[in-house]
Chain A
């Protein structure tokens, strides 16, 4: 009675469900995992066209059923004198013809309704499949989709939605170094600019982002130099922008200093090309020093970061990177004349590793120490002793031993 084209309808319904299933199947594992963190979004995106398709089919069926029930049967002929045989035959033929005409009309109507239904289903299937492919078929679109809730939150009150950010960061951690990871880093860069440009920004809302940035690059070697450069660029943006107001807090700055130190050390371990490491460490050490122009209170944090980078570079036999860190420490001591405390301990501590590293390195350090003699608050001997005690207390025993050697060596000179 309905004349429903079951095959065609079933094909469209299978297609509407099948395309999202295929798209999910073809996603990289880490992208699928990220998408599945919010399964309802996918269920709604894939399920709603299916529901709409069913509603269209039900509506078409209802139209056909209603029109069939509304058809008026042929009116009975009023009782009269008994018709002749010829009249009876004529009436029967007319009746049959009318019935045949009715059947033909309802058949035409059914065909029209189902044709329109099939056209609607085809449009729906094409649109829904295209939309799913657009939103989930490419990594950059998936990332843009994950970014949406984070941005919405930022635009509202300048704060990060940590849960939504975590999904992005985890995707970055699990992505392959190179282009895949670069997409996430670019997104985090945009996010940083959005947050810093927001009128609610007070200098203390980037901790999860900085942490995520660091985790993405420190997580799995080998490292891609371009990924590292982008991350350093984002941290530079945080470090080298003057505070918008005197009330602005500086916690993001401290996290950025720590992250820059960790990134530099990760670069020394994860990046294979020595030239890329040298370039990156030179940029990082310069950024750390320059940050102090805006935040002089962070001198101790910066000197510690430079010390850590220098020690790691010495350990990895990267002399240019190590000298870059030591040179910045010498510059900081000069800029903070008369220098004292942890800044001097960090400078002497790193210098002692050069001292213990061979004759030429020792001569270099000796010359530099001589030129900074007047920049220290204490005598060199007392400063060395204080640096040695500081390193022993903070369990940097190797540096403390090297400082002992340097003290003994300098006494002889």
Chain B
């Protein structure tokens, strides 16, 4: 039986990558994928369904011209452009004008968790608008299993809602 596929869209977790992804790979429970920019994420999400998608808010655009335009228009700065949020608004069909492609039909708010440096207060209105319930702030002192735990939580919740 195929393992559930999960996708982590994240570009800056260089130093904690081994500690965060190691437990996931070692568990052998998930088919884990990593996208490091919005273009790659879009390619991966278009290719197949993921039971869980963990998204960072601060993302670079990649090589797609439309995402690059959004990035430039907001000062070519990951913090200000918040491409992760734009990606979510596009993916969940809340703002189709963000990108000319049609978002994949399978993706629902319950497939998505947000794991970012921003505090929940800062983006709560966006999370509410998008209908996303799973959120974790990146901060000091998180356990190495935080990503695995987040995915487990996401999957448990989406099973319940299903």
Within the complex, the shortest CB–CB distance from B41 to chain A, in Å, comes to 10
Interface hit among A29-37, A162-170, A202-210, A326-334: A326-334
1/0 per position for A290-334, CB-CB distance to B under 8 A?
Answer: 100110000000000000000000000000100110010011001
Residues from chain A with a CB closer than 8 A to the CB of B47 are: 240, 290, 293-294
Q: Contact: B25 with A320, CB < 8 Å?
A: yes
Residue from the list B14, B40, B48 in contact with A236, Cβ < 8 A: B40
Q: Contact: A320 with B17, CB < 8 Å?
A: yes
Residue from the list B3, B34, B44 in contact with A282, Cβ < 8 A: B34
Tell me if B153 counts as interface (CB < 8 A to partner A): no
Q: Contact: B34 with A193, CB < 8 Å?
A: no
Tell me if B144 counts as interface (CB < 8 A to partner A): no
Interface size on B, residues (CB 8 A): 30
Interface centre among A230, A234, A331 (most CB of B within 10 A): A331
How far is it, in angstroms, between the C-alpha of A318 and the C-alpha of B8 when the chains are bound?
A: 21
How far is it, in angstroms, between the C-alpha of A233 and the C-alpha of B44 when the chains are bound?
A: 12
Judged by DSSP, the binding face of A is helix
Q: Contact: A293 with B28, CB < 8 Å?
A: no
Residue from the list B22, B28, B35 in contact with A283, Cβ < 8 A: B35
Residue of A nearest to B22 (CB): A320
Tell me if B31 counts as interface (CB < 8 A to partner A): yes
Q: Contact: B21 with A320, CB < 8 Å?
A: yes
Interface size on A, residues (CB 8 A): 36
How far is it, in angstroms, between the C-alpha of A411 and the C-alpha of B2 when the chains are bound?
A: 27
Residue from the list B14, B25, B34, B44 in contact with A240, Cβ < 8 A: B44
Residues from chain A with a CB closer than 8 A to the CB of B21 are: 278, 282, 320, 324
How far is it, in angstroms, between the C-alpha of A338 and the C-alpha of B106 when the chains are bound?
A: 28
Residues from chain A with a CB closer than 8 A to the CB of B65 are: 193
Q: Contact: B34 with A327, CB < 8 Å?
A: no
Tell me if B18 counts as interface (CB < 8 A to partner A): yes
Within the complex, the shortest CB–CB distance from B148 to chain A, in Å, comes to 14
Tell me if B80 counts as interface (CB < 8 A to partner A): no
Interface hit among A248-256, A363-371, A380-388: A363-371
Tell me if B72 counts as interface (CB < 8 A to partner A): no
How far is it, in angstroms, between the C-alpha of A230 and the C-alpha of B63 when the chains are bound?
A: 8
Within the complex, the shortest CB–CB distance from A267 to chain B, in Å, comes to 13
Check A335/B36 contact, CB under 8 A, given A286-B44, A290-B43.
no
Within the complex, the shortest CB–CB distance from A356 to chain B, in Å, comes to 19
Within the complex, the shortest CB–CB distance from A22 to chain B, in Å, comes to 33
3 shortest interchain CB distances as A-B pairs: A240-B43, A275-B14, A286-B33
Q: With contacts A320-B21, A320-B25 known, what are 6 further pairs, Cβ within 8 A?
A: A193-B65, A237-B63, A240-B44, A283-B34, A324-B25, A368-B28
10 contacts between A and B (CB under 8 A): A193-B65, A233-B62, A234-B63, A237-B39, A278-B17, A279-B14, A290-B33, A290-B44, A327-B31, A364-B26
